[in-house]
Amino acid sequence: MCRTRIVNARVVTPQGVCYGGVVFDEGGIIAVEDAASECCAAGLDDASLTTVDADGAWLVPGGIDPHVHFGGFGDIPIADDFRTGSFGALAGGTTTVMDFCEPTVEEDARAVIARRMADASVSSVDYAFHFVLSEQYRDLLRDLAYIEDECGIRDYKLFTVYGNTTLSLDDVREIFMRLADDPRRTFLIHAEDAELVACLEDELGDSTDMRLLAETRPDAVEFREVEALHGLVAETGVRACIAHSTCAETAALLDDPPARGEFELETCPHYLAFTSEKLAGPEGARFTMVPPLRSAADQAALWDAILSGKLRILSTDHCPYHARYKDGATYRTIPNGVDGVQWRMIYAFSEGVAKRGLTMPQFVDLTSANAAHFYGMWPRKGCIAVDSDADLVLIDPAGTTVLGMGENVSAIDYSIYEGMEMSGRIARVFKGGREVYDGERVCAEPGSGRFLAR
């Protein structure tokens, strides 16, 4: 088995930062080396090692994006499937993703899991699934033993909005109570007040003016539901994360952790990079996602929560649609979702570390370690340690990256990040001990990703 040694790197480990490197192969990380001490790989045949000189670059764990959509639902096709989406992930330093098993009205748990496993068979990144508990959740939970014990899925996605997935707070309480007995279970929740959205949409009607998307889904639509869910976490003691959090009021709930359970927020780069002003004008349709973009004050509150270590997970909700499906649609018919999986890591490095003083250990927490802990992947994923998977990323802090179609390797035909210049560059990426991105091209085999049963 071929071994690789990375040298002259600034290695971010769970214990802190050291100057040195790592030795690894397809079986995992063999040694973490400190340049100030003797070689930790003593006993290895140096002739069998391929040496990579990092030249002072940062060495971090492969990113974990715990919220992506690579195909899988809706009548309008998502631009990226597992093949193209995973290429984009690798080019951006993400080596593990979490997608969804979302059943249609007719599907049972076995059918939807089989369908999504087949979809993911072409993935070049490792992957896990959240299982969506739809309005038929009582029927779906009859297969709980199959979902968890046979398939290794213990993460559940809940929605409080959308056709076939709208769960009332009473439904959520029932699900929490039924599943609270196993602390390995987690919940990712899309939290919006469906009744308030419907009321506001009835008042404002339909239009191609995308500013109405924000007007019919104001901060209160999110916060009212999240505040109630915060109380349900305290009542039941479950472990829950609020998906794609957007507003200052939601972030403020992190100052009041529940007495029982675990309450986390994730947010996404687009909420940190753009405000609702982008929804105005002819290009507004391309900046649509749900929940929608917010104000500069909301954006500042999210950054404050990240820098303080309270908001702990950065995902992308990567769900891009080709421009032809967006342009000309109304705010009520448009397919909502944008790109991000290729840009998340370098965006967090540039805007968090280089611009705002986020430390590199905080960067690792935000982009991989916290998700690994929350979703039961630690220490296999999310850390540089002996016996962890050899998923590794070299970030050159002296480089620059211009986001957009010039760098894009996935199937999308436009990017909301077009032309944004970032400090730093993803120099090399290794997954499972093999180089999968050399700084210019993805060199991974479709289907080389592994399903992570947890």
pLDDT at position 43 over 50:
no
Share of the chain above pLDDT 90, in %: 95
Find the helix packing angle between 219-236 and 194-204, rounded to 10°.
170
Query: What CA–CA distance (Å, rounded) separates 272 from 265?
Result: 14
Q: Which pLDDT band, with edges at 50, 70 and 90, does 72 fall under? A: confident
For 424, the token pair is 């730093």
Contact between 221 and 246 under an 8 Å Cβ cutoff? The reply is no
pLDDT, tens digit (0-9, with 9 covering 90-100), for 340-396: 999 999 999 999 999 999 999 999 999 999 999 999 999 999 999 999 999 999 999
pLDDT of amino acid 42? 45
- Going through 182-257 in order, the beta strands assigned E by DSSP cover 186-190, 239-242
CB 374 within 8 A of CB 186: yes
Closest listed residue to residue 450, CA positions, set 1, 150, 128 = 128
Residue 406: exposure state from Cβ atoms within 10 A (0-12, 13-18, ≥19): exposed
Q: Is the pTM of the predicted complex or chain greater than 0.95?
A: yes
CATH number of 3-60+386-437: 2.30.40.10
CA–CA separation, 111 and 98 (whole Å): 19
Q: Using one digit for the tens of pLDDT, what is the confidence trace for 112-159? A: 999 999 999 999 999 999 999 999 999 999 999 999 999 999 999 999
Sign, Cα dihedral of 179, 181, 184, 186: positive
| Percentage of the chain modeled with pLDDT above 70 | 97
Q: Which of 96, 102, 118 is nearest to 341 (CA)?
A: 96
Residues 189-214 have pLDDT tens digits of: 999 999 999 999 999 999 999 999 99
Region 63-374: CATH code: 3.20.20.140
Q: Write down the residue that tokens 């990323």 correspond to.
A: 393
Domain map of the chain by residue range? 3-60+386-437, 63-374
| DSSP, res 254 | G
Query: At residue 6, does pLDDT exceed 50?
Result: yes
What are the residues facing 50 on neighbouring strands?
4
- Mean local confidence (pLDDT), 162-171: 96
